[in-house]
């Protein structure tokens, strides 16, 4: 994996040599596990901007060129040609399924779409006005109390069945969080439907009348879910790996990932984007004042849906979603003025030196809220939709970690800046 080395020389002229590890794509990584032994120092990298935490074969981002690959396949090809459940198989297993493999996988997932009846009571215990993300993080964590027959993490069959349960049950739980919030009856899954259509049915149907599926809406949601399925070692995925590295069970590890996703700097940004566009549209803010606030270093406000730790060019997912908005808003009856406003804001940032110099472009969350709104998904469910789609990515990383011969508990170091050692007053 390497034929390059890197040499560090300290001020006394003592040199230490380190291997440079190369992956299939991307820059090399200096292997520093023995750095302390060789130099007596640790590394310091707040936010882990220059730190590789693991080897992974699941997804790859080239942030300079705006490329995202899932198991080697470009995201635009997957969004056009694949289905969400096929992506789940691909991420979990490394290869696209044959027809019989897909049929078996589809059937396995369908076996697990229902949840234990007591989970309905569990969700009913939340306050009526609880945020759906608060209910989701609590309920997914609680799954380990309902399915403790499959949480022996040293057993490969248990690991697999937990992965299938999570993928199958997330749409059911997500829809229950919404129904509870609205005071509406929970709908059971219908296994005659596809994965996405089944979620739409549980989310929007009521027992009193038939629910008519819209193939256009289902395909739009399916594409959104494909685009959100995985994304390398982002904050929530790294959280799942770190939580899981201690041997925590898969349900607890994924609950930790959901908690991390909730923040506005990560998956919570899709909700924040719509709030920002709403305030430009309805409450006297203009594009100019919004951009000026985002550039003002004395104002903590940031332009929501812009910028990314890795993409320093267009986020390829944002391009696909913007295309979806162009194609679908008329058909879905979405908020065209809000989309026009988003396009105007994007154009204004492209012409602005602040955003150009810092290479801040729209990310996936900038346009996703507009599509979700057109699908009648309420704003406080946006991050739940992201979590539902990302669950397969999280669990694929959790499984990969458990196969990794170099896997050990994650435990970063620190620079201690507190008091020097001192004695307790006598
Ligand atoms: N608006 C205004 N300025 C910004 C923005 C923004 N959205 N994002 C970054 N900047 C500026 C920073 O102030 C900084 O400026 P400086 O060099 O003058 O100090 C520079 O650009 C670099 O920013 P960092 O904070 O160092 O970038 P980092 O990689 O740490 O943060 C992040 C990335 C969190 C995504 C950031 O761009 C941000 O807060 N964006 C808005 C929230 C958002 O859209 N999050 C969704 C991310 S995608 C996802 O999670 C699915």
How do residues 372-392 score in pLDDT, each as one tens digit? Answer: 988 999 999 999 999 999 999
Per-residue pLDDT averaged across 93-103, rounded?
A: 98
The region of weakest confidence among 84-88, 255-259, 367-371 is: 367-371
Q: Given pLDDT bands bounded at 50, 70 and 90, which one contains residue 332? A: confident
| pLDDT of 117 higher than 60 | yes
Residues with Cβ within 8 Å of residue 59, at least 6 apart in sequence? 68, 69, 70, 71, 91, 230, 231, 232, 393
Q: Given pLDDT bands bounded at 50, 70 and 90, which one contains residue 234? A: very high
Active site residue 266: yes
**Each residue's pLDDT tens digit, 48-61:** 999 999 999 999 99
CA of 394 relative to ligand 1 center, distance in Å? 23
pLDDT of residue 339: 85
Per-residue pLDDT averaged across 286-310, rounded?
A: 93
**Each residue's pLDDT tens digit, 196-207:** 999 999 999 999
| pLDDT of 1 higher than 70 | no
Please state, in angstroms and rounded to a whole number, the distance separating the CA atoms of residues 360 and 373.
24
The region of weakest confidence among 83-97, 101-115, 133-147, 272-286 is: 272-286
pLDDT of residue 16: 96
Per-residue pLDDT averaged across 225-235, rounded?
A: 97
Q: Given pLDDT bands bounded at 50, 70 and 90, which one contains residue 2? A: low
Per-residue pLDDT averaged across 267-284, rounded?
A: 87
Q: Are 325 and 367 in contact (CB under 8 A)?
A: yes
The region of weakest confidence among 49-58, 84-93, 279-288 is: 279-288
Q: Given pLDDT bands bounded at 50, 70 and 90, which one contains residue 96? A: very high
pLDDT of residue 326: 82
Choosing from 230, 315, 335, 365, the catalytic residue is 365
> Which residue puts its alpha carbon closest to atom 26 of ligand 1?
309
Active site residue 70: no
CA of 382 relative to ligand 1 center, distance in Å? 20
Choosing from 131, 164, 181, 308, the catalytic residue is 308
Active site residue 131: no
Q: Given pLDDT bands bounded at 50, 70 and 90, which one contains residue 300? A: very high
Instruction: State the chain's mean pLDDT as an integer.
Output: 94
pLDDT of residue 361: 92
Between 364 and 169, the more confident residue is: 169
| pLDDT of 306 higher than 70 | yes
| pLDDT of 218 higher than 90 | yes
| pLDDT of 337 higher than 90 | no
pLDDT of residue 100: 98
pLDDT above 90 as % of the chain: 84
pLDDT of residue 284: 76
CA of 306 relative to ligand 1 center, distance in Å? 7
> Which residue puts its alpha carbon closest to atom 16 of ligand 1?
358
| pLDDT of 289 higher than 80 | yes
Choosing from 266, 278, 352, 402, the catalytic residue is 266
Ligand 1-lining residues (CB < 6 angstroms):
47, 265-267, 269, 294, 302-309, 358, 360, 363-365
Q: Given pLDDT bands bounded at 50, 70 and 90, which one contains residue 230? A: very high
CA of 49 relative to ligand 1 center, distance in Å? 13
Count the neighbouring beta carbons within 10 Å of the beta carbon of residue 130: 17
The region of weakest confidence among 167-171, 189-193, 269-273 is: 269-273
């Amino acid at each position: 994996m390497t034929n390059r080395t890197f040499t560090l020389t300290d001020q006394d002229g003592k040199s230490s040599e380190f291997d440079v590890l190369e992956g299939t794509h991307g820059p090399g990584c200096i292997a520093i596990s023995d750095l302390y032994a060789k130099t007596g120092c640790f590394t310091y990298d707040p936010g882990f901007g220059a730190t590789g935490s693991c080897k992974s074969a699941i997804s790859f981002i080239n942030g300079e060129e705006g490329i995202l690959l899932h198991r080697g396949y470009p995201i635009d090809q997957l969004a056009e040609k694949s289905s969400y459940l096929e992506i789940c198989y691909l991420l979990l297993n490394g290869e696209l399924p044959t027809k019989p493999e897909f049929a078996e996988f589809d059937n396995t997932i369908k076996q697990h779409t229902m949840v234990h009846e007591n989970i309905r009571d569990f969700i009913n215990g939340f306050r009526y006005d609880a945020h759906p993300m608060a209910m989701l993080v609590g309920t997914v964590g609680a799954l380990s109390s309902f399915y403790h027959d499959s949480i022996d993490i040293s057993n490969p069959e248990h690991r697999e069945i937990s992965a299938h349960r999570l993928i199958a049950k997330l749409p059911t739980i997500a829809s229950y969080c919404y129904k509870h919030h609205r005071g509406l009856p929970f709908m059971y899954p219908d296994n005659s439907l596809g994965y996405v259509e089944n979620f739409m049915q549980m989310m929007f149907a009521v027992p009193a009348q038939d629910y008519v599926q819209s193939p256009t809406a289902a395909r739009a949601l399916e594409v959104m879910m494909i685009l959100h399925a995985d994304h390398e070692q982002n904050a929530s995925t790294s959280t799942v790996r770190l939580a899981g590295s201690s041997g925590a069970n898969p349900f607890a590890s994924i609950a930790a990932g959901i908690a991390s996703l909730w923040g506005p700097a990560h998956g919570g940004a899709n909700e924040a984007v719509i709030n920002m566009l709403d305030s430009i549209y309805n409450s006297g803010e203009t594009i100019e004042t919004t951009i000026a606030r985002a550039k003002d270093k004395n104002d903590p406000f940031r332009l929501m849906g812009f910028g990314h730790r890795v993409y320093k060019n267009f986020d390829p997912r944002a391009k696909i979603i913007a295309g979806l908005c162009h194609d679908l808003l008329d058909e879905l009856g979405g908020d065209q003025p809000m989309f026009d406003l988003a396009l105007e804001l994007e154009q204004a940032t492209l012409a602005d030196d602040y955003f150009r110099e810092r290479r801040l472009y729209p990310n996936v969350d900038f346009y996703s809220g507009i599509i979700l709104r057109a699908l009648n998904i309420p704003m406080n469910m946006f991050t739940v939709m992201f979590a539902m789609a990302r669950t397969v990515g999280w669990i694929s990383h959790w499984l990969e970690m458990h196969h990794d011969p170099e896997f050990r508990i994650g435990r970063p170091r620190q620079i201690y800046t507190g008091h020097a050692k001192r004695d307790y007053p006598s």
